[in-house]
Structure 1
Amino acid sequence: MKILSIQSAVAHGHVGNSAAVFPLQRIGVEVLPVYTVTFSNHTGYGSWRGPLIAPSDVHEVILGIEERGVFPEIDVVLSGYQGSEGIADVILDAVARVKAANPDAIYACDPVMGNAVSGCFVAPAIPDLLRDRVVPAADLVTPNQFELGFLTGTSPDTIASTLEAADLVRASGPETVLVTSVARPDRPEGTIEMLVVNGDGAWLVQTPMIGMKANGSGDVTAALFTAHYRATGDAQAALARTTSSVFDLLQRTHDAGSRELLLVESQEAYAHPRLQFDVARVR
């Protein structure tokens, strides 16, 4: 499998491509990373150094890959945090070019906007752009529950309302929706859930909630789920493997008291997930 991953990069820590690439490589995926920024560290520190890469330069890198004749071999275009409005056009153009070369390729979009704790942390124009243009072009989207609410203009907080919101997203274009950080009021205390919905049904997995802020964990989740789902076509199995891997990554990071994900140290969790959590069909 080959994935063209268009995301940010940092030198210190693990977010964007700096979070997604290694886990994908560890499970045997060939990744073509294209960077939208090259920062010293993620912005959660409050200060950082390094450039935003101009959309025209990102486009040039992608054209160079196309000129090497690689597009027919690409199975997935993956995108995450979009730092500027112009990147969306570059990504959508890349998706169209890849799909023209390989009609079986899919576009997986992590529509990063914010979360329930921090609120929206992207440029003001980005959420509307994602909702109106980018998400409808995707085959797979991986919003958290907060982002799902914005995409649909709803307030999903129960399994039923989250399923309804996921169906609204699916009606706009994507075949499959993975909802992360599902926090329904009636869930057991100290737990968190993920839900995946596609044309075949819906599946829910519940894990203990690990009390830490984990920048980059969503990028790892989107990457691993995308790869497992593309490889197998089995949403339930992809959810089980991804959940196991990400939970063990977060647990190791939390136990070590690390500010950054222990991405390399946790590599066996990607290659050989323990599958310690049951995935229940909910529709």
Structure 2
Amino acid sequence: MRVLSIQSSVSYGHVGNSAAVFPLQRLGIEVMPVFTVCFSNHTGYGSWRGPMLTGDDVREIVTGIEERGGLDGVDVVLSGYQGGDDIGDAILDAVARVKRRSPDAIYACDPVLGNAKSGCHVAPEVQDLIRDRVVPRADLITPNQFELGFITGTSPDTLDSTLEAVDRARELGPSTVLVTSVERPDRPDGTIEMLAAAGEEAWIVQTPHLPFTVNGSGDVTAALFSAHFARTGDAADALARTASSVFELLENTLAAESRELRLVESQEAYARPSMRFEPRRLR
């Protein structure tokens, strides 16, 4: 299996490609990372060093990969945070190139826009890019509940309204949707859920809600689910494997009192997930 992953890179810590590549490699997947930034650390620290790449830089790198035959046999194109519309255009160009050579490839997009607490934290032009041009081209998207609402112009909160928003998102283009954080008011205290819909089926999985947030966990979630789903086409299995792996990663990070994901220390969770959380079929 081969993945072209176009995301940010940091030297210290784990976000973007620095979060997604290693777990995929532990699954035995050949990953071709293309960086959109090369920063010292993620921007959550308030300061960082290093360059941003341009859309032309990304195109040049993808062109070089194509010249080596590297776009043949790609199974997944994975993208995350898009810092500008020029990067978005370059990603869409890469998707088109891959699909010309590998027509069955899946474009899996994590439509990073923001969250319910802080709202949108990307520029207006990026909001428009993701909603109007990127999502319709994607085969699989992995929004959180807030991002799902933004994309669809809805306010999902209950399970029914979240399912309705998922269906609306699928009408825009993606055939598969993973909602990475479902916080419905009637869920048991101390829990959080993920919901996946593909074909005629929808599934939800519930895990304990750990009392912290850490940068990069969404990048790992999107990468693992996309890879598992591309391999099997089984949304329930992909959901179960992803939930188990990510929960163990977060447990290890919390136990270590670390601000950064314990990504390497948790590697067995990706290769051999415990399958401790069983999805429930919604339809």
State if a TM-score over 0.5 links the two structures.
yes
Distance of 1:186 and 1:48 partners within structure 2: 41
Q: How does 1:177-256 map to 2 (within 5 A)?
A: 177-256=177-256
1:54 positional shift? 1.2
Look up the SS of the partner of 1:168 in the other structure: helix
Report what 2:128 is aligned to. Answer: 128
The amino acid that maps onto 1:64 is G
Mapped to 2, the partners of 1:124 and 1:70 lie a distance apart of 34
Q: How much does 1:148 deviate?
A: 0.2
Q: CA deviation at 1:127?
A: 1.4
Identity of aligned residues (%): 70
Tell me the matched-pair count. 283
Q: Which secondary structure does the structure 2 equivalent of 1:19 belong to?
A: helix
Letter in 2 for 1:107: Y
Structure 2 distance, partners of 1:147, 1:96, is 24
Instruction: Name the Cα RMSD after superposition.
Output: 0.7
CA distance in 2, matches of 1:33, 1:227: 15
Shift of 1:55: 1.0
Secondary structure class of the residue paired with 1:11: strand
Query: Which whole-Å deviations, capped at 9, do the CAs of 1:44-88 have from their partners, x for residues lacking one?
Result: 111111111011111100000000012122111100000111011
TM-score by length of 1: 0.99
The alignment's TM-score, normalised by the length of structure 2, stands at 0.99
**Residues 225-261 of structure 1, C-alpha deviations (whole Å, 9 max, x = no match):** 0000000110000000000000000010001100000
Rounded Cα–Cα distance in structure 1 between residues aligned with 2:278 and 2:55: 42
Q: Distance in 1 between matches of 2:242 and 2:71?
A: 27
Question: Which amino acid letter does the alignment assign opposite residue 59 of structure 2?
Answer: H
SS at match of 1:71: coil
Counterpart check, 1:72 vs 2:72: yes
Match of 2:280 in 1: 280
AA paired with 1:260?
A: E
Q: Does the residue aligned with 1:125 lie in a helix, a strand or coil?
A: helix
| AA in 2 matched with 1:256 | A
Per the alignment, residue 6 of structure 1 pairs with 6
- Work out the CA distance in 2 between the residues paired with 1:192 and 1:128: 29
Q: Whole-Å Cα distance in 2 between the matches of residues 43 and 195 of structure 1?
A: 28
Matched, 1:176 2:176: yes
Offset of residue 117 of structure 1: 2.1
Q: What SS is found at the alignment partner of 2:107? A: strand
Counterpart Cα distance in 2 of 1:118 and 1:30: 36
In the alignment, the residues of structure 2 paired with residue 92 and residue 102 of structure 1 have an alpha-carbon distance, to the nearest angstrom, of 15
- Provide, for residues 114-141 of structure 1, a one-character-per-residue CA deviation record: whole Å limited to 9, x for no partner: 1112221112211111010000000000
